[in-house]
Copies of this chain bind each other. A is one copy, B any other.
Amino acid sequence: AAGKLAEAAKLPGFLHLYVGQEAVAAGVCATLSDTDQITSTHRGHGHLVAKGGQFNEMMAELMGKATGYCKGKGGSMHISNLAVGMLGANGIVGAGAPIAVGAAFANKYKDNGNVSAAFFGDGSTNIGAFHEAANMACALRLPILFICENNEYGEFTPRNKTMAITDIVDRAAGYGMPGVIVDGMDVVAVHEAAVEAAARARRGEGPSLIEAKTYRFYNHHGIQNLGLKYRADDEVAMWRERDPIFTFEDRLINARSATRSDFDDVWAELRADIAASIEFAEASPFPTPDQLLADVYTVMPANVMAATAS
């Protein structure tokens, strides 16, 4: 799965790229089924793909096409695919966590054995919605995983300016849930922690917090953003050294479980899929203006229509 995520770097336009953090979404989602749910953030492509989203519909959505996952109405920041339990990227920092709590509540209510996972960044743990979600999940002992992707920055501001702690897991005890730190550049380490947390949740033992130490290779959004500097070159270089995909490949190769050419094939396939998805998206039609008022409600009330016609 991790390999697949490399595609993020190829997306056009203004997007919050996931590149560098692929091991987190991949490691966590590998232990989730389509009937488990996740909520994502503004940085949602990686989570979507890891949860089983398809390139075609994703690429089409990013281009605002009618064939996209959201018919072009959501775009990057609201990309979702309920069919595989991806309850949406979210443009509001922290807002996904309470929704994941609701999904966890529904799973427990239906006793269906499913779990939900909320992905969020380090900076997001400073917002009230995160706090309320974490506490409520623990108070109600819900089957949920809180996955913090600590990439040390919120937009352009380093973590140490916005909190007096270094490790987000220090917050777990305040809610009464276990918390573990894992190397977010190591997909296996992330996966092992997620497997344990998911098993715990499915056993009815409640929420867990996993803090994955990771890094985003590109800018807050887009490749260059405003081109202003806020991270040291050697810091970026140091982390790029630890690229979660390439290091994982080397590891498998050294372990003789795969060969370089195996990966060459994966990459070739991947590039082909991506190229195909771009073709698909570009060939797809834009939504037509008559779709503007569709999907506001299940059925648009007649009097709303009337009041709407300018």
User: A-side interface residues toward B, CB under 8 Å?
Assistant: 126-132, 135-136, 138-139, 141, 161-165, 170-177, 206
Contacts and interface: CB of A to CB of B under 8 A. Distances in A.
Contacts of A170: 173-174, 176
Q: Is chain A's interface secondary structure helix, strand, loop, or mixed overall?
A: helix
A162 to B, nearest CB: 5
B174 A162 contact: no
A251 to B, nearest CB: 34
Contacts of A135: 126, 162-164
Across the A-B interface, the 9 shortest Cβ-Cβ residue pairs: A128-B128, A164-B176, A131-B131, A171-B174, A138-B164, A174-B174, A165-B176, A126-B135, A128-B132
Contacts of A162: 135, 139
Contact of A163 (B126, B172, B176): B176
21 contacts: A126-B131, A126-B132, A128-B128, A128-B131, A130-B131, A131-B131, A131-B132, A135-B162, A135-B163, A138-B163, A138-B165, A139-B162, A164-B175, A164-B177, A164-B206, A165-B175, A170-B173, A170-B174, A172-B174, A173-B173, A173-B174
A181 to B, nearest CB: 14
Contacts of A172: 174
